[in-house]
Structure 1
Amino acid sequence: MRAGPLPFTLDPLPGETFETWLHTYAARLGVPTLRLIQDLNLPDPHGELHRGRWRRPDPTDHTIAALGAATGLTDEAVRGMFDAEGHVPQHTAFTAWAPRLASRFCPPCLADGHWSPNWRLRLQFFCHNHDVLLADRCPSCGQPPPAPPIRPDLWPGSVSPLKGLSVTGTSCGCGHDLAATDPPCSSDPDTAARAQRFIDDLLTGIRGTDRKPAARQDALDALSDLSLIAAHIAADLAGKTGKQQVVVTAPMLRADTLIPAVTILDHHDATTDPLIDLVAALAPSRLTHKAVPHTWATGSPALRTRIAYGRSESMTAIDQLRHAITLPAPMLLPHRTADRVDPAIGRAARLPDHMWLNWAIRLGQATARRAATFSSAALVALLLPHSDLRLKPQIVTLVNPAIGAATVAHHMARLLDLPTGTTALRILTELAFAIDDHDIPIDYARRRRLVAGNELIDDDAWNSIASSRIISPRIGRGQLTANARRYLYELLTGGNLYIAPPPHRVIPDDARRDQYRTFVAFMTIDIRDALHAHARRVLDGAGITGEPLTWEPPTTWVTTTDWPGTDPDQTDPAAIHDAILEARLPLQRVTADLGLSLEHLRAVLRQHPLPRPASPIPVQRSIRPADSNTTSMTTTSPAAKTFHVDPDWFREQYVTWWRSLPDIAEEIGCSSFTLRAFAHAHDIPIRTKTDANSNIDRDATSGRHPSQFPQPLRDALRGTSTRLRLERFVTLAYQPSINQAAQALGCNPGNLHDQLTTLEHAVGSLLMRRHAGARPVGPLTPLGQDLRRQAQEHLGISPILPTT
């Protein structure tokens, strides 16, 4: 700390931040800001002072007291500047705006014997008295002339007492008469004058004593945006745009950059926004997809929101959610500051690990190819609006590391592809902001801690519930107890069983998953009530008495009344109950008859359980050979036990078309075990587990017969997870490298290379040309071009753009 107090005290304005006051103080003292920082002995916590950069230190009691002693301010005044909520530009921008020891000059003004202190500011480039641009350098020596250390009239000082300072000499240090210099040419003096007046208004507004803090913050934001646009223009002129973060520096602020920058910033016409053209022209090709390229990340909320909305057509679903551009009216992006708590962190701490059941169905879960992962992907999507965190690994880790970033991107991209896609993304965005603004009556994080390691219900408690309420259970009592525990886990935590901790977790396409679904679907209302009462006792025993057992956000939290999916709340459960209890139809038959999805049906049965146990549906156990002219025939009665199937037809479907036993059995209406016995009886060899991995993936075909797909797509559909493999191949075909494709997909480059190899093995030849090096890929081969085209035409696969 320098010895003694500073010469005078500069009182901060109401709501003024420490950085703005500090740079103003330095200018009023006539010293560089870095010199003042050193004199005040301010800490440099990030070690950036020697690089011309600096960020405020923590406001410790020692720092507050030392600043007050040196500046004459009270501790309350100093602490108020640290507590001010205003956003400040980078230190380099303040340095660029500060008065210089050198000066621009107006030759006609010098000839009249006048010199303006404002010429010391880099933001001054035009003389209103003579309608000419200011000269930068002496034409003889090429150096800017020195200037008297008089404070400018504009920010950052108060009004100078020496306005209209007279000068007696107009010679440069080299002896050249500056008054005889020709002013720089201006093709449009009117535009230059308007730009200078625009900047002057901002400069006076930053510390205008007659303005409110919000108005001064707006002026500071606008000046920061103006400088950033000018810096991009200057960097482009120097051929350096996109190579690194664009930082505002003093040499960038000149007439040829500031005048077009004002035109761009102050654009209000309905015509094409010139800012969007500038962003697109200056962004590197690998960043053209990004809503707000990283070189514009320091812009104000208004500038970044304007860029995001202007580039919405080329944005991914992830970026549309992140920048909230699906809302009817723009919502300003928040300031990006180091001490800002990201909204994704706050939301994740208050939410379950997947979307509430009815909300998932309203959003279109029934249309998702992988409905099991849709709800978790939708929950992750709720964390995206206005978040600066990366989707992978930061945001997904906030929910559960088991959720794949590529899965989230896949589901959001598929939602956007639907006719109602924009509505779905708008609902997610509105719901996210509504969660920020409303209380959630359940502490999901506390409940997850409660159930960790908790058995939830023991055998005796479950047996007392089930003994008089379950008729002829199809599975053992032990498995029923395990399912009751899973139900209680879902009930208490709102959690997803696919990513739940053991022993509650179930695996997709596993027998335990199907058993649990059956358990919940056929649960009677008295069992449901008994389990809910047990769950209430678990909460009460843990001292959680003020929360409802279950909860979902009300639909009034969003503006839509036309949901992308169906609404379980609008479904009458009576027709479902009659179909199960009276007609004794299986669930698949009920969905077909009522036009519902299985997810929708199960949601209704959760809310409205069966009033009494359902009688078991007789199992169809036998298949008899049909006439040779018959492909397949089933009876319509749910109690039928006999099916007639042509062995030659079955052989063709299984052997020639590589359909799986479950796929064929579903078409016939029998079980896979019955169909397997029929195959043995007719000497049709059953594929081993290894060979079964070459079956046509019925999930990828959406129920279509393999004969409807051309080659090589048909071969590519053999195996498991074939659609995911094809989606990644199509994305890879549109990316310049395997690493960039992996980044877009949120997966490992090695895994992507392995999947490409697997796909090439399936089709029997290379799909992409290879170059020397570690896993590089080149252009598509003719076979690869055919496969890419067929995947897009027949499966509707589109490339997934990079996520952020």
Structure 2
Amino acid sequence: MTTWSAERIPLAVAPHPGEALDSWLERYAHRLRTHTVDFADFLGLSHASLRRMVRRLDDEEASLLRARTGVETERLREMTLERFDGSLVRIAATNRRLTAPAHWRVYGTTSRFCPACLADDGGRWQLHWRLGWTFACTRHRLLLLERCPACGKHPPVASGGNHRMLPRPEACRALTDRSGLGTRCGYPLTEAPAMRLVVDGEVLTAQEQVNAAIIAEHRSPAVLERAGELSHLGRRALRAIRTRPQQVPAVALDISDACGRIPHSPRQDGSSWEVHDAANVAIGTVLATIATDLEHPHCAEVFAWMCLSSEQESFGLREHPTRYLRNWTSAGPRVVRRILAASDPQLTLKARLRYGTATAEPAVPHLTEADITVRASKTPGMLWPSWTLRLLPPERPHQARIAGLRRACASLLLIPDGPAGHRTAARIMGNAQFRSSLEALLAFVDVDHLCTALVHYARLLDAHDVPIDYQRRRALFSDPAGELLLDESAHWLLCKELGNRQFQQVHLQRLRWQLRRLLLGAEPQSGNHAPAWTHRFTYRTHSGILAFLHQQARRNLDAHDLGDEPVTWEPPAHWLDALDLPQPHLDLPDERVRALLTAESAEHDVARQLGLTVHQLRLLMESRGLSAATRPHNKGTYPRPPRQGALVPERLRDLYERQGLQQLQIAELAGCSSAVVKTALKQAGIQRRPRRGAGELQRSVDPDWLRTEYHELGRTVADIARELGACDSNVAQLLDVFDVPRHPPGHSAPPPWQPSPFTDLGEVLSAPMQHISTRRGGSDWLRTALMVPGHRTRRSAALTLGIPRTSLNHRLKMLETAAGFEIFNHRKRPVVATERGQALLDEARNLFDLLDRQQPRGAR
């Protein structure tokens, strides 16, 4: 037996599943034989509005209804539109007014209705009839009604006004006069004629999809995107029916006829085709569903009809897919991509690249100038040879302007997804002759293939890291008058060793040209054609010359603090695994190509045997680092270049004879190898000092000194040999001669650990500081590191401190290894400490100040 509270009404009326709040209150009042207004006064809701309550209940209203009717608060709130707020409806926070929702719009509290549902449920009104997305009853297969067929008004769900007549539940409660007498229409809504829909037809199918995919999951971001598609395309369809009734597709005519609409005749009530009644929403939703169902047979036809505009009927290519592309953003990214793809045949080359309309993933440009600058830093001035090979059609026999083609591709790579035009892109890449290069590109490459491949290339560069900063290299090495480090003496010796005569001034100029090309990843001069001699160099060059060029390029990079970058780089092949692009000539094995590149082979013959053009062969060899074998040369004596610096005969004689420097020391001063110094001594006619005689080393070394240095101080044989200027084996023999005990196995140097000098300071050391201070030499490393911040580079710091740069780098490396983290950010100018490094340096500075104050003045 149910316990009834004192506040609860003795008679209970349970809400119907899915019923709206005002419909339930109307039925409750009718059960009590009273009017809804009187029932609200009886409940204590005399100042409340049922229209606002059916949208959202406040806490006081929900508490009062629960106490008076016994219905739980959760059930009461389920009978309101509150759970759809922000997705399918919009309710103002202050006055609970309904504002325009994002999609199909229902502004007031009027409700559509199904007469068969009202008859079966005793006049109960469903809450979902108020949603703009509900246009059909799947239960009775009827199109929902908007108005009463007798009075033509939206029938109220609950009876209002100041009359005291008790209306029938199924009757229309709309007022029919303005006299204030409260005359009601009274038409039985259960008998209203409704449009019957075809079983399993397009309209019912669309309503079932909307119920399952939008209304049931209305909070999901994917559902909101889908709702935007259907709503936007549906409105476009209704607008097209109104403005161009003669161009309506047959499938749209059939759907309009099924919903009781005739596009070619005006509406009898004079309303627009864009009025959001049930019939219009049904037509628009069904047509939008067809346009977004790629498997529907009329999908392409309906979508093209929706997108048709006078702008697209004009002739000539355009720079933008549509002037009103922003108006399509509410339709979602899938629809925007289809709009872009559909406009591909009507766009210029630049627009096709910018929007990526030739690819499967077109997109509205979203990158900034800064993003394009980053992409430019990843791209050389000429497209990489492996990527260029994918663009060249294999059947074209002549592709002479291959340099211009590669330059144009590199410039066009900056256009996809960004704001840069072709002129800006060419200026950033340093390709001045872009127009002629573009003509060279379009003369040999299929435009559709080009637009597809370049967009993919650009997006790959945005998604991956490239180990070379090409923008910085262009700033450093593009100027032909700029200085390059090139060891001419080493080149002369190499040529002498190889037995060729390519050491004249013209050869040095060409060598600098190739060196600059190696550093830039592109030819240093602009234009569509490379110099003729470069083709011979690319095809056949001795491996020693190639290694020498690579070594000189590394010297130049190290001189500009680019030692962490490789000399050359080619995108890995696996980047293109997911792309559906042709792979011409990339499956040729290296062994087959190398077997054909003999000393007697001709370039044209090798290309013909591989089924390539000559230019394709050169690109293939460049991408794989291959070169044809060279013919042997007869060695001889050739003119040598003049010596410079420390190798000038007079300067060399002074260093070697008067100052007594060793050959290795002179080589360090001259920046060359000891072999070059040996050759320079011979060429200058300087008599080399004789080697040590037999027993001379043994007579010049004191046995007690050797025993002290080796056995007691723990020095190694190599360390002592460097001091004596002798070989390690000779010093090892002296140990046996003087009966000095050898170090035990595994001994290499004195142990690197020592007591920390900061132990007696009374300070708590951090873990990195405790580890560093107990390493031998750790204090010196810290003092050196304290003087580095503020210098522009480590090299300038070494010059200021008066120590070799290699020694400074060694100390910093040992310090960072002992600390276990990076102390300086060496990529910034000037050199600054990292966050953890700065904390360590501050601790070291404090400890050294305390240590210096404790030491006697004379010991500092």
- TM-score, normalised to structure 2, is 0.46
Higher relative contact order (CA 8 A, sep 6+): 1
The higher radius of gyration belongs to 2
